[in-house]
Amino acid sequence: MPLVRIDLIRGRRPDELRAIADATHRALVDVLNIPERDRFQIVTEHDADHVIALDAGLGFDRSDRLVMIQIFTQEGRTTEVKQHVFRAIAEQLEPLGIGGEDVFVSIFENGSQDWSFGFGRAQYTEGLLPVPGR
């Protein structure tokens, strides 16, 4: 856990998609200290006219290299840690030719009772998995 959704504009090679997913995961492992095998990602490509991402009034333009990342994770991380996640992801994506203006990241938090990893069971709530940060 976390669950990560990566949305991008269609047209990248499979190895590029994997590199983006790997870079995102590497940033989360480094910053959030999650285990390497704690990896749940969904990578979705969209036609260019199905993605609208302006600049929220910040004065920059995005390109077709845009990567939008949604991170679903348990509550409890500080603002400073979240900002570190944002920076680390941007830094990991830069060597892949993705500029900072094309990195959009959002973090959604919820509780340990909101997760089931299989078999219809809430493993954190049942004590089958340790709750991160506790």
Domains of the chain: 3-114 (3.30.429.10)
User: How far, in Å, CA of 51 to CA of 68, rounded?
Assistant: 10
CA distance 123 to 112: 9
State pLDDT tens for residues 46-64. 999 999 999 888 999 999 9
Tell me the C-alpha distance between 22 and 4, whole Å: 11
Q: Quick one: average pLDDT of 29-46?
A: 95
pTM surpassing 0.85? yes
Active site members: 2
The helix/strand/coil state of 22 is helix
pLDDT at 55: 85
Of the listed ranges 1-10, 16-25, 113-122, the least confidently predicted one is: 113-122
- Quote the pLDDT of residue 130: 83
Averaged pLDDT of the chain: 94
